[in-house]
Structure 1
Amino acid sequence: MPCHSLPKRGHRHKRETAVLDRFYLIIDSPEWLDRLCPEGLRLAQLRIKEPDETLPDLVSRTLRTARKYGCTLVINDHWQAAIDAGADWLHLGQEDLDTADIKAIRKAGLKLGLSTHTPEELDRALTFDPDYVALGPIFPARGKVVDYAPQGIARLSSWKARINVPLIAIGGIRIEHAESLFEAGADSICVITDVLADADPEARCRAWIAASR
């Protein structure tokens, strides 16, 4: 039976605080890793929104590819596939917390990142003792329709003051925003469209890496 919450205290001191690369890219296939890890990509999330029977194999293949390049791979949403593949990281949205078996996830040793959009969602996320917290969308989302208004850069600072784990900025971000987001408290910046939809994703990835390191 899914466990929907964990105690607020009693686990953090047993796990080291995660150290994440300052540039975080969301992908939908291992082929992106083959293209962009040679350019320096070291942190990626596999996001498959419409899974089918090939999902377990896709997760396993992407994980093998990431490890080949020394890239940290986060699996989005699909917690059972992540456990079965032996993944190290999982990312869940707020709605996923209603059904995910958090005890099984933690027993498998997965580190956990959680999405937040409102102060109430942050309160809820912190009860799960996450290894990172994502805040978004910082700016109007470019790649999808979202239910939340843009958060703005200032909210990053208030989120950062409340947590002791890495803070991820996501949503509508372009490379020219990087400096101000880091100054506001972001530990890592997550993008999709600004790299994957660029005419030259490899060059854009290199530019992001230069801007974040």
Structure 2
Amino acid sequence: MKLDPFYPIVDSSTWVARLVPLGVKLLQLRIKDVEDENRLQQEISAARKVCERHGCQLIVNDYWQLAIDEACDFVHLGQEDLEGADLDAIRRAGLRLGVSTHDGDELETALSADPDYIALGPVFPTSSKSLKWEPQGVAKVTGWKRQVGDLPLVAIGGITLERAVEVLQSGADSIAVISDVTRNPDPEQRTRDWIGQTRR
């Protein structure tokens, strides 16, 4: 399986509607701190419709049951979410699985779940969420790519457009991007620039 090299992560269907029509082909919807299941379902459903219309694969973070209900393409799980998830149900529904990793033990746990891709981070210092792990650096990306072989490796954490080529050349198959797009003064143009840079 091949992942698009540009993998934005956004927190609402509004962002999906802004960015996907620009040519985004892989995107994660990561909604935190929302308890209302109806609202979550509406957000995922709205995002899926936009993605379907524009040929973009939608990855839903955490909410695997809703992702199944809405027939999304992928579920992405953090280590703490793996235990409570029904991986067989996710597979039976035809969804693919991505798993977050931060160290060697987590990589082993992730690989035991037979994922479709592994995410490694943070590669650089990041402001998107507070993590107990130190930045890994691009050398770690190279080492992990060697370990996972043909399994796609997603690099995440503090990666700007200016660092994209270096990260891809270090072995990442795809780069997950949050603040470099969503906190940019012109998110649409930044998205176009990312697409242009990563699909050369």
Q: Which TM-score applies when normalising by structure 2? A: 0.95
2:31 matches 1:45? no
The 5 Å alignment of 1:80-99 reads 80-99=65-84
Partner of 2:117: 132
Question: Residue 189 of structure 1 aligns with which residue?
Answer: 175
SS at match of 1:130: coil
- Percentage identity across aligned positions? 51
In structure 2, the residue matched to 1:115 is 100
Residue 46 (structure 2) pairs with residue 34 (structure 1): no
RMSD of aligned Cα (Å): 1.0
Residue 138 (structure 1) shift: 0.3
Give the number of equivalent residue pairs.
196
- Are residue 165 (structure 1) and residue 151 (structure 2) matched? yes
Contact 2:20 2:50 in 1 (8 A): no
- The structure whose residues are more often helix, as a share, is 2
User: Cα deviations across residues 121-172 of structure 1 (Å, max 9, x unaligned)?
Assistant: 1011111111000000001112221121111110011111111211000001
Q: Which residue of 1 aligns with 2:141?
A: 156
Between the aligned partners of 2:124 and 2:189, the Cα distance in structure 1 is: 23
Residue 69 (str. 1) matches residue 54 (str. 2): yes
Tell me by how many angstroms 1:38 deviates.
Answer: 2.6
Distance 1:207 1:88 in 2: 25
Cα offset, 1:89, TM superposition: 0.6
1-side partners of 2:2 and 2:42: how far apart? 28
1:5 corresponding residue in structure 2: none
Runs of 4+, deviation exceeding 2 Å: none
Aligned residue type for 2:188: E
Name 1:206's counterpart in structure 2.
192
Deviations 1:68-94 (A, max 9, x none): 111111000001111111112100000
The separation in 2 between residues aligned to 1:190 and 1:172, in whole angstroms, is 9
